[in-house]
Structure 1
Amino acid sequence: MTQQAISRTPHTGVCALSPYSDAGSDAQDGQPGEEWTVPGWDEIVRTHAHPVYRLAYRLTGNQHDAEDLTQEVFIRVFRSLSRFRPGTFEGWLHRITVNLFLDMTRRRSRVRFEHLTDAAAERLSAAEPNPAQAHHDTRLDADVQAALDALPVPFRAAVVLCDVEGLSYEEVAATLGVKTGTVRSRIHRGRARLRTSLVHRAGSGTESTTAPTGSPGPHATAPAAALANG
């Protein structure tokens, strides 16, 4: 990967390979027998840098670790792209991001969490949404983010993927490499802990950039109370 390519994503470092590096059981794109064309690197960065950073921030809870994780993801993508089997590219990126996040937490005795500042949005590349939109898309209400940060890592990953990113239970299971029943259990227990953490918010009507806990769906928003009352 060239420095030019790296500079178009957050400026971060490199980590070891994660256990999962291919497309797994993703559904095939295109028609049977149709040859898949590897997208150009500039196109990959332009299309996916912001969504990857947004997921990384929701998982890690702070700007520095989110930038590190985003950079590691694109280094992994660059190294593994030639081995990618045609499928859902976004699903592949989800798996890489989550598994590198899990690797990150295993390497540390403690993960530091801070709230997002405006500086994070300002450092996003020009190819991504403008700073105001990036800040809106990335940040969660401070109470909700703090409650997510306090969850055990397996619960946090499942809740973020389902209730924030809008993945189905089956998609979360495929991303985490666990059974659907395990995902349901983690989400149920994670939501229960969030209810306890956010009980002081009941009835406050404070808005937060999260998905509702009933039927997951992409790009959905709901009050913080919805995340806690699922």
Structure 2
Amino acid sequence: MERRESEITEQEWINKIYTGGAAAYKDFVKAYYEHVYRTAYAVLHHHQDAEDVTQEVFVQIYRALPEYRNQGLKTWITRITVNRAIDMRRKLARQKVTVAQDEQWIEEHAQQADSTTLSTEQAIMLQERKVFIQEELDRMPEHYKDVIHSFYIDEKSYEEIASELQLEKKSVESRLYRARLWLKRHWRREDFE
């Protein structure tokens, strides 16, 4: 009769992973996935971020396994997870600050664009920039494009967007936040200066 994964000792896990390779590691991930996810979620309070950290943790554990020194497998896994989740929380906090700065930059440039004292050269440059931005927006995933356009172009509130897209207000906030992160990852700021 085969023992359940939770009954395998830590040394047996280590031996099983070393001798069984990827297949054995897959069993290990299955056995500890819920623990790692719950630990990450306790720090981050966000499903997708906790999922991301969980994936990263198992990659880190696999790489760090040769350095493991029998200090309590579950404790070691928990420490790695908590550290990775805290790193993610700090990274997200920095991104929020950067996104806020970018929003301020966009607002300032939009106010300049509204000015009626634009020269012909400025008007042409503004038009070229609008075309460029529209082309870049067209590259965005559809579900991000909808909220970005509704919020920034149509200037609709979260409630209006939620009603229009038949979503919860929290979902609109989440999509808008993730859309901004997508923009940060795929756009270079110098393209818009």
TM range (shorter): 0.3 to 0.5
Structure (1/2) with the larger helix percentage: 2
RCO comparison, higher one (Cα < 8 Å, 6+):
1
TM-score by length of 2: 0.37
TM-score by length of 1: 0.31
